[in-house]
């Protein structure tokens, strides 16, 4: 230990060359450290700048993404509203379709019911017509035993002429010998229901049209009054005179003129032919 201490220089004593080298070394190390610090600082600044740039880009991207998300959200909301409106419209259309189907079904049901009623009514009307036709046939047979009776499109026409009720020339009175005939006619007509009676008077060709017109009306009223007196309802009887028009037989002989001096009784089914309409002006007309 002593030897070593002797060989080294005393403490605190250094040579000038060694001190200079030490200072240079210190300065070098200092500058080196400063350079390293500056280099590191530069690297850190560049890294920080890059980081800031990346952060700025990321921020821009985030803002862009947020804007796109907002746009997508708005679009989604709009599409959701449209979908809701479409669903509501579809529900409304479905309800309207169901209502239309119900209305159509009800209409078809009513139409079928109406058709069935119409068919039933037609069947009943046909049955009624057949019954009336049978009644008219029997009535024609019964009245034909009293006076000439013929069928027409509207019913029956009974002719009270020279063979049943004879009118004298220029007269409208009913002779006693013909009253029994009219009583029999009244007895048959009183049994009818739903029929209208039309009494029409005629004259021969002697005299003026005006005079014969009034004479024919008196003859029709005379027959009508006798039927009413016998018990027939006056509300179902209509009278009309035709004067010397529409002669039954052409000619001017006494026999022909006696035949044309007549009264005709029309019997018409008012419920079948004239419901809601006016009666004919003359029995047998269509």
Strand partners, 133: none
H-type alpha helices, 145-208: 179-189
Token representation of residue 136 = 């008219």
pLDDT at 10: 52
Whole-number Å distance between alpha carbons of 144 and 271: 23
Name the residue ranges covered by the structural domains of the chain: 58-127, 146-273
Sequential pLDDT tens for the chain (286 residues): 444 444 444 555 556 666 777 777 888 888 888 888 888 888 888 887 887 888 788 788 878 878 887 887 888 788 888 888 888 888 888 888 888 888 888 888 899 899 999 998 888 888 888 888 898 999 999 999 999 999 998 899 999 987 788 889 999 999 999 999 999 999 999 998 889 999 999 999 999 999 999 999 999 999 999 999 999 999 999 999 999 998 999 999 999 999 999 999 999 988 754 443 344 555 544 3
State the architecture of 146-273 in CATH terms. Answer: 2-Layer Sandwich (3.30)
pTM comes to 0.58
Whole-number Å distance between alpha carbons of 99 and 169: 79
> Among 119, 153, 157, 190, which residue's Cα sits nearest to residue 273?
153
How many CB atoms neighbour CB 206 within 10 A? Answer: 14
Torsion angle, CA of 134/136/138/141, rounded to 10 degrees?
Answer: -140
Q: Give the three-state DSSP class for 41.
A: helix
pLDDT at 5: 46
How many CB atoms neighbour CB 213 within 10 A? Answer: 17
pLDDT at 188: 95
pLDDT at 16: 65
């Amino acid at each position: 230990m002593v030897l070593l201490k002797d060989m080294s220089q005393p403490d605190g004593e250094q040579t000038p060359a060694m001190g200079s080298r030490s200072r240079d070394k210190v300065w070098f190390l200092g500058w080196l450290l400063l350079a390293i610090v500056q280099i590191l600082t530069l690297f850190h600044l560049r890294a920080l700048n890059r980081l800031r740039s990346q952060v700025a880009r990321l921020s821009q991207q985030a803002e862009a993404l947020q804007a796109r998300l907002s746009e997508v959200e708005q679009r989604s909301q709009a599409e959701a509203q449209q979908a809701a409106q479409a669903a509501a419209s579809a529900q409304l259309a479905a309800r309207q379709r169901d209502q239309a189907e119900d209305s159509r079904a009800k209409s078809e049901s009513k139409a079928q019911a109406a058709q069935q009623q119409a068919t039933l009514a037609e069947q009943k009307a046909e049955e009624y017509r057949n019954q009336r036709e049978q009644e008219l046939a029997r009535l024609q047979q019964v009245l034909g035993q009293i006076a000439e009776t013929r069928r027409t499109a509207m019913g029956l026409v009974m002719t009270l002429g020279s063979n049943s009720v004879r009118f004298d020339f220029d007269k409208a009175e009913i002779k006693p010998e013909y009253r029994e005939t009219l009583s029999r006619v009244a007895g048959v007509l009183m049994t009818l229901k739903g029929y209208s009676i039309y009494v029409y008077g005629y004259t021969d060709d002697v005299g003026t049209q005006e005079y014969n017109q009034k004479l024919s009306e008196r003859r029709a009223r005379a027959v009508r009054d006798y039927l009413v007196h016998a018990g027939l309802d006056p509300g179902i009887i209509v009278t009309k005179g035709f004067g010397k028009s529409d002669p039954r037989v052409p000619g001017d002989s006494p026999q022909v003129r006696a035949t044309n001096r007549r009264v005709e009784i029309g019997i018409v089914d008012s419920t079948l032919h004239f419901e809601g309409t006016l009666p004919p002006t003359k029995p047998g007309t269509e």
